[in-house]
Structure 1
Amino acid sequence: MRHIGKLQITMGPIPYLWSGDKWRDFYYGIADSEHVDAVTLGEIVCSKRDHFIRPFLAEVIERLQRNGKNVAIGSLALVTMEREAIATRRLATGSLPVEANDLSALRLLVGRPHQVGPFVNVYNGATARLLARKGATRICLGAELPATSIASIIKDAPGIEFEIIAFGRLPLAISARCAHARAKHRSKDNCQFVCGEDEDGLDVDTLDGQAFLSINGVQTTSRHCQVLLGEMEMLRDIGVTHLRLSPQNCDMETVASIFAQVRDEKIDVTEGLARLRDVYSAAPYANGFLHGNAGMNWVA
């Protein structure tokens, strides 16, 4: 097996509502991890959750940077209210690099180096080149793209870094309405933060009982957990530079360690998958999108 090389490992923003203490302690652990190179923080799903993490944000950033991590702040994926627009403008004028997850954030960041998150649709090289001219230095591509499309985009947009979600439930949609609150017989305005009861998302089935998707506040995610442990060499070869681990309610420090050990050929993929299942078994694994298959499928 050829050496996979130093694909960078990044830790994405926590998509779920965790308590402030749990959120802080999670990133303290990531700061101490030797396997995570970069971290994206921030509340990207629901602005109502922001006050849970705001008291701890500065100290978490300081600890991550002190431990050598590259830190960026993610913008909200859907801006619908004036207070959210104000927060986005404040983010765009701050001192930290920003990951734009909404077109309104992209407009504010023109001419300033920034990153582009997976909520912004980038489906061809021309779009990637346009974003690069506007200041984008790294793009996290959407989860539904097959490897052939990823390779084509990267080939057509030289000089920019590309990131792929390699672990975690996949972000599929974001809405102005809150299905999570509705499922628990509440309204969005009076949700009482019921999404915090499901620290790994709320699995939902179809009316006939078929396992379907997962909801997380206003966000819809895959029921399955994307795992691209066996595809790292291929991703590196087509030009991917960063692998994103999307936090789930498990020991993400060990998840990062497993990916790093497979990357560095200290363990093989079979052993890595076995260890990964010991760490996270709350959702079935899938890699179908990357192989041009149904996203929920597992291609050996």
Structure 2
Amino acid sequence: MKLSLGPVLFYWDRQQTLDFYADMVDLPLDVIYLGETVCAKRRDMGLDDWLGLARELTQQSSAELVMSGLTLVEAASELSNLRRLCDNGELLVEANDMGAVQYLSEKRVRFVGGPALNLYNGYALAELVNSGMQRWVPPVEVSGAMIRSARAQLTELGVAVPEVEIFAYGHLPLAYSARCFTARAENRPKDDCQFCCQNYPEGIPLLSQEGEALFTINGIQTMSASVSNLLADYPALVECGADLLRLSPRASGMVEVVEAFDAVRKGGLPPLAVDGCNGYWHGQPGMLRAEEAGLC
């Protein structure tokens, strides 16, 4: 089982971003994703900066470097930047938008299908595999049973099964909007947000009227309130055919997270339970833990 470090979903300034990857480079990671996937206004790190960082990391780590593209493309300038990313000529690209899939397919360039693509069965997967998708990151709400079913359908169709990379740790990215919720929370217009996302390195908790944590707001992105953690489900991840486990960056504690997953994949016993949620993996509401759903 390989471990991957997903793209940073929050807006950190340039120095915090560089410091984060300096901490990650010596960890036992097999794949590292770089790039901005949430908001094109987050410009502390442009495409050239990300590519430069990738070159530096290549000199320091044996991990595969992958460039991730935007999930929501809203303007011609963003489409232009997406094309530049797809044409980088150096690194594999994670497509998080069907526009990127179309462009990469036309160029006959192999790619990673990101979790924002709506791929839920073997027939949809077959279309993208035939278009050049070599690795599939299922949507975060997909259960282990659905992944097994999709793999079986691909086999029945006679289509090669791509690598499967499961989102195994982090705040789950649930939805995207043209509206910026963080700017609205600070009573700012989106076009004059003053990059206020940087004030919240792990997003803004959104509570119900009863004070229950429901979501995390991250610019135009709505995320889970709880951190999803599938470490206790490691045997089931292996059984469903997962090839990689994605660990999504947080502002603190990532060294310990990587080390915990690495210990289990090397033969250590997985914990009986973990903090956070894992309901989606078990086909239940995502905010639940398996224990709450009566599955343990």
TM-score, structure 2 length as denominator?
0.91
- 1:285 aligned to 2:276? yes
Q: Is the 8 A contact 2:151 2:161 kept in 1?
A: no
Q: 2:5 aligns with which of 4, 8, 11?
A: 11
In 2: Cα distance, 1:198 partner to 1:53 partner = 20
Q: 2:117 aligns with which of 104, 120, 134?
A: 120
Gaps of 5+ in 1: 1-6, 274-283
Gaps of 5+ in 2: 155-159, 292-296
Give the aligned length. 282
Corresponding residue number in structure 1 for 2:55: 62
For each residue in 1:231-286, what CA deviation from the matched residue of structure 2 results, as whole angstroms up to 9, or x when unmatched? 1221111211110001111131221111010121235424x94xxxxxxxxxx600
Corresponding residue number in structure 2 for 1:153: 150
Q: Give how far 1:59 is off.
A: 3.6
Structure 1 53/199 Cα, relative in aligned 2: closer, same or farther at 3 Å?
farther
Secondary structure of the residue aligned to 1:164 is: strand
- 1:295 aligned to 2:286? yes
In 1: Cα distance, 2:181 partner to 2:125 partner = 32
Q: 2:68 aligns with which of 63, 70, 74?
A: 74
Corresponding residue number in structure 2 for 1:278: none
Residue identity in the other structure for 1:128:
L
Q: Give how far 1:62 is off.
A: 1.6
Q: Give how far 1:182 is off.
A: 0.2
In 2: Cα distance, 1:90 partner to 1:207 partner = 45
- 1:32 aligned to 2:26? yes
Secondary structure of the residue aligned to 1:16 is: coil
- 1:94 aligned to 2:88? yes
Corresponding residue number in structure 2 for 1:23: 17
Cα RMSD, aligned residues only = 1.6
Q: Is the 8 A contact 1:24 1:56 kept in 2?
A: no
Q: Give how far 1:163 is off.
A: 0.8
Q: Give how far 1:58 is off.
A: 3.4
Structure 1 69/181 Cα, relative in aligned 2: closer, same or farther at 3 Å?
same
Corresponding residue number in structure 1 for 2:294: none
In 1: Cα distance, 2:265 partner to 2:21 partner = 23
Q: Give how far 1:208 is off.
A: 4.2
Residue identity in the other structure for 2:81:
A
In 2: Cα distance, 1:62 partner to 1:155 partner = 38
Q: Is the 8 A contact 1:170 1:226 kept in 2?
A: yes
Q: Give how far 1:55 is off.
A: 6.5
Residue identity in the other structure for 2:78:
E
Q: Give how far 1:45 is off.
A: 0.2
Structure 1 50/156 Cα, relative in aligned 2: closer, same or farther at 3 Å?
farther
In 1: Cα distance, 2:30 partner to 2:76 partner = 34
In 1: Cα distance, 2:212 partner to 2:266 partner = 39
Residue identity in the other structure for 1:152:
S
**Stretch of structure 1 that moved more, 246-255 or 176-185:** 246-255
Q: Is the 8 A contact 2:13 2:44 kept in 1?
A: no
In 1: Cα distance, 2:143 partner to 2:270 partner = 24
Identity %: 34
**Stretch of structure 1 that moved more, 203-212 or 239-248:** 203-212
